[in-house]
Structure 1
Amino acid sequence: MFKQRKQDPFFSALHKIAVNIREAVHYANDFRIESVADLKELSVRMKQYETAGDKLIHELIVMLNKSFMTPIEREDILALAIRMDDILDGTEGTIAHFEMFSLIEVDESMRNFLSYIVKSVDEIVKATDLLNKKDLVGMRQHAILIKDYERECDEVLRSSIKQLFLNEKDPIRLIKFKDIYEQLEEIADYCQTVANTIETIIMRNA
């Protein structure tokens, strides 16, 4: 089934979705917030990435509805696309909370979360590139790394909330920071769900 060299349009579509997510997450990670105006600029840009992602998902669904044959189960194609889109939605939502809170401070815990999320989406792109090349077995190493990064984020969440309750005396700041920490950890969970979906696809088709 996977010996042909011609790129499959469904796998290509999944890879495009992954690349858009990577660009969005890297943009958010690289953006330097120094003012409330910066938060607005970042929030608008992330919404644009989310809209582009929704368009890519819609195009994939149209293809699925029109196609009688798919290279793997259509449910697996759609599941991978939606699970990846959850990462983008989660990232856009977290940035929206930064703007809602007028929170221009990015602390070490947030940077740690973001570094692991960036690494995770990089691995997702590598995995979908291999899927595009029909190298399903090769995808497994990337799924394993994503799960490792999610476990690291679990540790970051525990330690950051512990330190927050020990050191933060302002209850409003505590609520804001705890909310952001938990949202970032949820994005890492979305990445792990993508890894689980990738492993399901490997198990069923490799």
Structure 2
Amino acid sequence: MFSSKKQDPFFSALLKIAENMREGIHYANDFRIETVADLKEISIRMKQYETAGDKLIHELIVMLNKSFMTPIEREDILSLAIRMDDVLDGAEGTIAHFEMFSLTEIDESMRDFLAYIAKSTDEIVKAMELLNKKDLVGMRQHAILIKDYERECDEVLRSSIKKLFLNEKDPIRLIKFKDIYEQLEEIADYCQTVANTIETIIMRNA
């Protein structure tokens, strides 16, 4: 069904959403928090990425509403876009919690979570690049890798909470760290939902 060599505007829009999401996640992963002022800086920048993502989603919805024909089901296009946006929204919300808690202590578990999430966004962008080339079957390998990274995050969550309850004596710090760990794992879950949506699209169209 994808015989045309012309780039599809809907697939191009999905790639832009994915690239903005990846850029935001990598920004968070690369940023080094040392002071409360750093927390303010990263919170403002992540909000900008989230706002840019919302604008791209709005543009896609307008395009969907104006178009009679779409390359795949319009519900699948919108679902994929929203699932990718969930990843960025989750990251922005987590960073906002860092600022609310004035939490400048970034531990190894948090870095591991963010590293796996960043790798997942790389795979999402690669999948969207293949979608642009109308290579649906090729997208599957990237969906599989995203799920692998989510499983790694599950392990990080279990081990980090176990260590937390074994070693942390301050109940307030325990609550803060547990909250952040669980939010980071939820972002990994959002990435997995993107992978599931990709596999559904492959099943319906390849």
CA distance in 2, matches of 1:147, 1:65: 32
- How far the C-alpha of 1:5 sits from its partner, in A, is 1.1
1:13-28 residue pairs with structure 2 within 5 A? 13-28=13-28
| 1:182 Cα deviation after fit | 0.1
- How many equivalent residue pairs? 206
Aligned residue number for residue 127 of structure 2: 127
2:2 maps to 2
Alignment of 1:1-206 (within 5 A): 1-206=1-206
TM-score between both structures, scaled by the size of structure 1: 1.00
Shift of 1:2: 0.8
Report the Cα distance in structure 2 between the residues aligned to 1:114 and 1:29, rounded to whole angstroms.
6
**SS of match in other structure, 2:172:** helix
Unaligned regions of 5+ residues in structure 2, if any?
none
Identity %: 89
Q: Secondary structure at the match of 1:193?
A: helix
* Corresponding residue SS for 1:84: helix
Note the residue ranges of structure 1 that are not aligned, 5 or more in a row.
none
Once residues 29 and 194 of structure 1 are traced to their aligned partners in structure 2, the CA distance between those partners, rounded to angstroms, is 20
Provide the C-alpha distance between the structure 2 equivalents of 1:114 and 1:28, rounded to a whole number of angstroms.
8
Distance 1:29 1:82 in 2: 22
Q: How far 1:21 moved relative to its partner? A: 0.3
Question: Does the residue aligned with 1:160 lie in a helix, a strand or coil?
Answer: helix
Please tell me the residue identity of whatever aligns with 1:21: M
Letter in 1 for 2:150: E
| Equivalent AA in structure 2 for residue 144 of structure 1 | I
Distance 1:156 1:168 in 2: 17
Task: Kindly provide the amino acid, as one letter, of the partner of residue 112 in structure 2.
Answer: N
Report the aligned-residue RMSD: 0.4
C-alpha separation in 2, matches of 1:3 and 1:173: 57
Counterpart of 1:199, as a letter, is E
Q: State the one-letter code of the partner of 1:173.
A: R
- TM-score normalised according to structure 2 size: 1.00
Q: Deviations over 1:125-169 (max 9, x none)?
A: 000000011000000000000000000100100000000000000
Aligned-pair CA distance for 1:10: 0.2
Q: How many Å apart are 1:4 and its aligned residue?
A: 1.2
